[in-house]
Amino acid sequence: MTPHLSLAALADPARRKDLAHILKQAKSVVAITGAGVSAESGISTFRGAGGYWEKFRAEDLASPRGFTKDPELVWRWYNERRIAILNSQPNPGHFALAALEKAFPSFLLVTQNVDGFHGQAGSEKMVEIHGSIWELRCTREGKIWTDRQIFETLPVYCACGALARPNVLWFGEAYNPNLFHQAQQAASRADLILVAGTSGMVWIVAGLLQAHYQHQSQGQVIEINLEASDLTPEVDLLLQGPSGQILPLILALLKNEDQT
């Protein structure tokens, strides 16, 4: 059974010392983040009560078929998400990950989130594996551009006259092979993987952990989540609590700034 450590348990100096030892042994690190990290900034998660999928089927909002059927509905939904993100900001977990990037010889952040908070917090060694809500793509020419405005007229069109779509990965679409290869190679080399704020239901998490386990018999995988998930039986340790509190604690332990 995977060991669980709550925030209360991490008040124990011995437990903190053990965790600090794991962190300080790591040279190559991959962090994988999901919607739970941004939920602490007030951005609704995709699954569960209050999630974005609650009122509509996913296929109606985030699929090529849904976009073809009703591009205005899809764009209204994405426009509302853009508004919510612009009215929020990165939380301490985002900033801790940006600092962790500089603390390890090798580091890559692989995020499922499309909100851009990681980059806003300062992360640079990053793969946005599901794309970015702030990028648009022409459905005719494939041209990609960045636009952070809130759109007054929907749906959105490219300058060429064709419909534009959010440059994000939709259901039924394949991962960008270059981005996936970069993430997979990093996971296969990593001696520590931090998985924060994801249920593990998205395939990319399992795929990266598989690449890690195939090449790193001694590597460690630490999950950071509010509660145990489908992923928990596959990891070495669950740190149970908000990522906005646990990730800064990890940073403090690594930098010998622990205050116990």
CB-CB contact of 142 with 160 (8 Å): no
Q: d(Cα 61, Cα 216) in Å, to the nearest integer?
A: 38
| Distance between CA atoms of residues 138 and 166, nearest Å | 9
The set of catalytic residues is 130
Distance CA 210, CA 188 (A): 8
Q: What is the 3-state secondary structure (H, E, C) of 148-162?
A: CCCCCCCCCECCCCC
Instruction: Report the alpha-carbon distance of residue 215 to residue 181 in Å, rounded.
Output: 15
The tally of CA atoms less than 13 A away on the side-chain side of residue 12 is 8
- Which residues 6+ apart lie within 8 Å of 23 measured at CB? 192, 250, 253, 254
The kind and range of the H/E element at 29 are strand 28-33
Residue with tokens 């946005």: 128
The strand pairing partners of 168, in sequence order, are 131
Q: DSSP 3-state assignment of 127?
A: strand
Q: What is the dihedral of CA 168, 31, 198, 196, to 10 degrees?
A: -140
